[in-house]
Structure 1
């Protein structure tokens, strides 16, 4: 091939890579505008009349603003956790719900309630984070022992572990007469969010910054232990760091909001279909679309049977289950075409 042609191909590939990694593109700005509109709709959606009541302005800042902020932070946290887990496990069907991480967080909350009557939010968060980290590490230890690593085996292992932990939590709840705590945790909802009950969710911003700082190394870890080690990455230490960040994000959400299924599965898969698997360039997209997804589901949950409210976990679970099946069918179709 002539040198001029080779140089042209290289310049073209570099230009395409630059366009892919460029953040402030028209589609990304459009997504931000759509999510901002959803946030405004969330601020003014609800049964309480903030315009006609005397304390409407106070209620707006006590409940509506904290709820919308909590939606945005929670959506970013769960979508980001799913993206990191899918990358380091090399599996599209992995996220906190399909690995048992959320069930471990629920067990941590139950353990805190058993040890400390009427625990504070900090204690609940600590227990959820600690058990989330333990559960994620147990999942990865199981994964290392499994030689057959098909796309279905990995989430099946996680679902089985989650089912076992959920059974343990249910037994402990029945034995110690604390089933109400378990039931309240499984029904993830933002109805109780108000000033003084959501501020710890701001820690998620720190987690996002740390993940962005280690994005390149985490992308290398997604290539496998042997490749990452040959490229100079301390694979085991990086996996510990990733699991720790995931545990913090999931633990905070579990303690403040509750169980939010499939959010970490839907968003990263949608983004990866169009943008590939580069964590650094995909992370802003995943966070923003995660915000929009959960905000839209919460608006539906508040309006579908007004003046009553459906738990947002019900909407997420329904949508997530459909997307989960579609991903399975898509992977099956791609195998047939090979």
Structure 2
């Protein structure tokens, strides 16, 4: 079971939290091993007239940028190396330049989790919390486009990658503003459970199954999912699961609930490919991976369902 713990900082944006929480929650509903947890943070006040932070373990109310208060324990759960800590962003206009973005206690917990082999992630201004914990020193990262200059200026040891959805540097993953937290979470699901699982989760959320982070993503499983045709998605689900086997058009059409002619027309309109060509792209992609791991062309061709390695060689040679 993978625990995903969200650090709730005062003034956080609801979508920064709800987007990735929805991804992991729906992945769990689909049978993937995720369990969500929430920890309230309370940075130490800089003004003695402000409310002192609660004692560790006590419940705390966290105000949000949208006015809906959230309540969570201030106790951190025990985290294993396979777990994920996520810091959603907050309304930057409310932050004072001289105030730490998270408490020293939270910064230590984030740093300790990463040092123990865990994954840490941020959405939007949450990158400043990771930087405060020392986790962005010498690393590539990103944040909301309006905050990129401030992050680069305040944390010169970090390499800020501009105008991308997310950046992965080892076990530190940072994303841009607001809705990009969904892309970050889908990327984590894909990297741990395969692109098909991420595509199914994205489809359930009615969002594009994107993984275009800091560089072009090669996965055909996601590259051709940016449409809303339910019949085509059903056919793709079957091809994704069985691309190494023969898949006659009538079987795909039956799965999609439409005629063969209708499926071909809708599939091509939605993806730019025929069902056969889509299956060939999946086979080619998998074969390239196997060859990169040391397999011969003949062995890779057999593993992905080609009866003749000449077809694989032809596909590899085509532009």
TM-score, length-scaled by structure 1: 0.23
Which has the larger helix fraction? 1
TM-score, length-scaled by structure 2: 0.24
Kindly name which structure, 1 or 2, has the bigger radius of gyration based on alpha carbons.
2
**RCO greater where, 1 or 2, for CA within 8 Å and sep 6 or more?**
1
